[in-house]
C-alpha cells in the first residue's frame, strides 16, 4: 500500500471514530456540559471585568500640580492614582468576585512639577502626604550629634542635615559620619550670616564656598539650601536656584536653641506636627533627649519621617 492510500485509510478511520463519538449520547452530554461550563466561566469573568471597570472611577484620584501658594509659597505636586484594570482582574480572578482591597493602582504624575515653578522657598511637603522631615541645622553642638545619630539609626530614620561650611571644614569627621549614616545633607551657608542683609555677591560666595567644602569632604553634591535663622530675601532664593538649589524653610520649630526642657520641646512639636511638616532642630541637649520620643509619637500618628528630597517628591508612599 502506497503512502497516499495509507493517508486515505487513516483519515477515514478518524472520521468514523469521530462520527461514533458524536452519535454517542454520553459524549454529547459531556460536550454540552463542557461547553456550558466554559460559557459560564467566560460570562462570570466578563462580569468581574465589567464590575472592575465600572468601579474604577470611584477609587481613582486626580494628580495635583505643583504650585505657588500665597502663604506656603512652593507646594510640591502629588501623584494621582488610576486603577490598573488588567492587574486588578488578575488579582481577583481566583476568587471570581470583586474585592476593592485587591485593586491594583498605577501612579499618575501631575502636569506641573517643582522644576516648572518660579523660585520660591518651600516650607513643607504636600499637605496630603503622610510624611514629616527633620531639618537639623549644624553649625555647633558637636557634643550632642553622636547621640542624635544613634537614636536615628536605632529607629531607622533618615534626616536632612544642613551643614555650615565653616563647621564642615573644622569637623570633617562629623560630616562624614552624617553621610555614612545614610542621611541627606544640605547647605547652611559658610559663616552663618543674615542672608537678608548681605549683597548678591556675598550670598553667592556663601553658598558656593560651602558647596565646595562639603563636596570635597563628603563627595556629596547638595541640592537644598537653608538660610541661617530663616532670613532671606527674594534675591537669595533666586541665587540659590541659579546654583541648582532649592531654598528650604520649616513649618514646625522646636526652638531648641532656647534650651527648653525635653517635655516642653516635645509638646511644642507634637501639638503642631502635621502631614508634610518640616521640623526645624539643632544638635542641642533638649533635642537629643527628645528625639526618640518625637519619633515614636510621630509614627503613632501614621506619619513617616523621611528626608526632604523624599518628602517633596510626587511619589505616594503606599499607593
pLDDT digits (tens, 9 = 90+) for 18-49: 544 445 554 454 444 544 444 444 445 589 99
The per-residue pLDDT for 21 is 45
* Among candidate residues 104, 114, 105, 103, the one with its CA nearest the CA of residue 78: 114
Block residue for cell numbers 522644576:
115
Running DSSP on this structure, what letter comes out for residue 119? P
**pTM of the predicted model, to two decimals?**
0.84
Q: Which residues belong to CATH 3.20.20.370 in the chain?
A: 124-311
**Residue pointed to by grid coordinates 552624617:** 178
The CATH code for residues 124-311 is: 3.20.20.370
Cα–Cα distance for residue pair 78/316, rounded to 1 Å:
7
Which residue positions in the chain have pLDDT lower than 50?
9-10, 13-15, 17, 19-22, 26-27, 29-32, 34-43
Backbone angles phi, psi at 318, to 5 degrees: -130, 80
6 grid coordinates: 495509507
What backbone phi and psi angles, to 5 degrees, belong to 296? -60, -45
- Phi and psi torsions of 232, nearest 5°: -160, 170
State the pLDDT at residue 36.
44
pLDDT at residue 12, rounded to an integer: 54
Amino acid at each position: 500500500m502506497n503512502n497516499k492510500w495509507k493517508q486515505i485509510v487513516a483519515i477515514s478511520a478518524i472520521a468514523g471514530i469521530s462520527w461514533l463519538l458524536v452519535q454517542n449520547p454520553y459524549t454529547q452530554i459531556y460536550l454540552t456540559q463542557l461547553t456550558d461550563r466554559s460559557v459560564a466561566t467566560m460570562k462570570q469573568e466578563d462580569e468581574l471585568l465589567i464590575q472592575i471597570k465600572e468601579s474604577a472611577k470611584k477609587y481613582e484620584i486626580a494628580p495635583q500640580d505643583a504650585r505657588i501658594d500665597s502663604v506656603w509659597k512652593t507646594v510640591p505636586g502629588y501623584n494621582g492614582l488610576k486603577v490598573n484594570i488588567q492587574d486588578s482582574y488578575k488579582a481577583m480572578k481566583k476568587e471570581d468576585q470583586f474585592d476593592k482591597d485587591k485593586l491594583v493602582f498605577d501612579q499618575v504624575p501631575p502636569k506641573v512639577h517643582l522644576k516648572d515653578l518660579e523660585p520660591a522657598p518651600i516650607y513643607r511637603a504636600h499637605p496630603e502626604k503622610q510624611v514629616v522631615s527633620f531639618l537639623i541645622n549644624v553649625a555647633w553642638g558637636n557634643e550632642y550629634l553622636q547621640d542624635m545619630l544613634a537614636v536615628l539609626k536605632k529607629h531607622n530614620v533618615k534626616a536632612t542635615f544642613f551643614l555650615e561650611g565653616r563647621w564642615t571644614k573644622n569637623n570633617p569627621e562629623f560630616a562624614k559620619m552624617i553621610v555614612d549614616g545614610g542621611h541627606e545633607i544640605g547647605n547652611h551657608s559658610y559663616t552663618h550670616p543674615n542672608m537678608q542683609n548681605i549683597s548678591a555677591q556675598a550670598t553667592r560666595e556663601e553658598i558656593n564656598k560651602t558647596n565646595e567644602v562639603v563636596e570635597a569632604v563628603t563627595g556629596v553634591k547638595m541640592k537644598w539650601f537653608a538660610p541661617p535663622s530663616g532670613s532671606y530675601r527674594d534675591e537669595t532664593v533666586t541665587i540659590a536656584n541659579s546654583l541648582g538649589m532649592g531654598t528650604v524653610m520649616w513649618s514646625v520649630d522646636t526652638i531648641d536653641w532656647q534650651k527648653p526642657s525635653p517635655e516642653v520641646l516635645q509638646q511644642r512639636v507634637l501639638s503642631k506636627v502635621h502631614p508634610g511638616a518640616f521640623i526645624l532642630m539643632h544638635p542641642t541637649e533638649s533635642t537629643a533627649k527628645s528625639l526618640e520620643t518625637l519619633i515614636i509619637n510621630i509614627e503613632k500618628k501614621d506619619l513617616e519621617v523621611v528626608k526632604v528630597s523624599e518628602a517633596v517628591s510626587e511619589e505616594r508612599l503606599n499607593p
